[in-house]
Homo-oligomer: A and B are copies of this chain.
Amino acid sequence: MQELKNFIKNTIEFSEQSWGILQNCISEKEFKKNETLLKEGQVCNAVYFVGSGFCKAVFNMDGKEVNTAFYFENSFVTNVKSLTTSSKSEYSIVACEKTKTVQFDKTRLLAAYAESHEIASFGRKILELVTASQEEHSNSFKLQTPRQRFDNLVSNHPDILQRVSLTQLASYLGVSRETLSRFRAVK
A interface residues (Cβ-Cβ under 8 A, vs B): 59, 61, 66, 68, 80-81, 84-85, 90, 113-114, 117, 120-121, 123-125, 127-128, 130-132, 134-135, 137-139, 141-143, 174
Query: For residue A139, which residues in chain B have a CB less than 8 angstroms away from its CB?
Result: 59, 68, 90
Query: For residue A125, which residues in chain B have a CB less than 8 angstroms away from its CB?
Result: 84
Q: How many identical chains are in the complex?
A: 2
Q: Verify B84–A128 contact, CB threshold 8 A.
A: yes
Q: Verify A141–B143 contact, CB threshold 8 A.
A: no
Most chain B beta-carbon neighbours within 10 Å: one of A90, A143, A174: A143
Q: Verify A135–B132 contact, CB threshold 8 A.
A: no
Query: For residue A138, which residues in chain B have a CB less than 8 angstroms away from its CB?
Result: 134-135, 137-138, 141
A168 to chain B, nearest CB (A): 13
Query: For residue A127, which residues in chain B have a CB less than 8 angstroms away from its CB?
Result: 124, 127-128, 131
**A140 — nearest CB in chain B belongs to which residue?**
B141
Q: Verify A61–B143 contact, CB threshold 8 A.
A: yes
**How many angstroms between the C-alpha atoms of A130 and B90 in the bound complex?**
18
Q: Which of B120, B131, B132 contacts A113 (CB 8 A)?
A: B120
5 intermolecular pairs with C-beta atoms under 8 Å apart = A59-B143, A84-B125, A120-B120, A120-B124, A127-B127
A108 to chain B, nearest CB (A): 16
**A117 — nearest CB in chain B belongs to which residue?**
B114
Closest 10 CB pairs of A and B: A138-B138, A141-B141, A84-B128, A131-B131, A81-B132, A68-B142, A80-B131, A127-B127, A120-B120, A114-B117
Query: For residue A120, which residues in chain B have a CB less than 8 angstroms away from its CB?
Result: 113, 117, 120, 124
**How many angstroms between the C-alpha atoms of A137 and B127 in the bound complex?**
18
**How many angstroms between the C-alpha atoms of A152 and B136 in the bound complex?**
23
Query: For residue A131, which residues in chain B have a CB less than 8 angstroms away from its CB?
Result: 80-81, 127, 130-131, 134
